[in-house]
Amino acid sequence: MKQKLVIAPSVLSLDYARVSEQLADLNKTRAEWMHFDVMDGHFVPNLTFGPDILKGFKKAVDMVMDVHIMVSDPKFYAPIFIKAGADIVTFHYEAVASIKECVALCRTIHSLGAKAGVSVRPKTPIDEILPYLHEMDVFLIMSVEPGFGGQSFMEDQLDKVRKLRSYIDAHELNVRIEIDGGINAKTAKQAIEAGCDTLVAGSYVFKQDVHEAVESLLCLA
């Protein structure tokens, strides 16, 4: 079932000299989720935020905290970020040993009171995960190699989105299809047409007027 379009601005692209001002601007927009990228410098070649930053950001906005953990040890980090205020924790399929572990971690996340998401790098196939989609709330397709903002959208990732949309609709599942990387007004339209209902956008949102950027994505629905 395709759901209402949600915009999730990625705070990886904030201007860190103007954080409070930008969070206040963001809070006035119709973006419902804040996308918070946790990188451990190991699973991806970049290092970002810890749980205290999440706590601070959560106090500054009234948004769903959508935490994407790009880490080698998601079992260790998921509970830490839930305790710090994550509403959704999305971990990487490549960081767990098997589909059994993937399902077990989704269940642990649910037992701790958060929603569970699973993400895949551009080269990872999704066929093995499809029969277990009912265990998760969000499936996050990476449309760039994870690690950095400002990269170009990988259009071939839309095949995975189409496959997910058919599976979710055929099985009447309540799972969001989120896409992250290189989203702007043009690529957002392609992503929505392919079946996405949740768009992460970093540089597109924060390198212009935040309100106008969010509206320009929402009007594509």
Active site residues: 37, 180
Give 12 or 103: the residue with its C-beta nearer to ligand 5RP. Answer: 12
Give 167 or 204: the residue with its C-beta nearer to ligand 5RP. Answer: 204
Give 44 or 164: the residue with its C-beta nearer to ligand 5RP. Answer: 44
CA distances from 132 to 12, 17, 58, 61 (A): 30, 42, 31, 33
Residue 67 contacts ligand 5RP per CB under 6 A: no
Query: Coil, helix or strand for 56?
Result: helix
- Are 161 and 196 within 8 A, CB to CB? yes
Residue 203 contacts ligand 5RP per CB under 6 A: yes
Closest CA to 91 of 103, 74, 77: 74
- Are 80 and 51 within 8 A, CB to CB? yes
- Are 63 and 30 within 8 A, CB to CB? no
Q: How many residues of this chain bind ligand 5RP (CB under 6 A)?
A: 22
Residue 12 contacts ligand 5RP per CB under 6 A: yes
Stretch of residues binding ligand 5RP (CB under 6 A), selected from 24-32, 48-56, 125-133, 179-187: 179-187
- Burial bucket for residue 215 (CB in 10 Å: 0-12, 13-18, 19+): middle
Residues that bind ligand 5RP (CB under 6 A): 10, 12-13, 35, 37, 68, 144, 146-151, 180-183, 200-204
Annotated binding site: 10, 35, 37, 68, 147-150, 180-182, 202-203
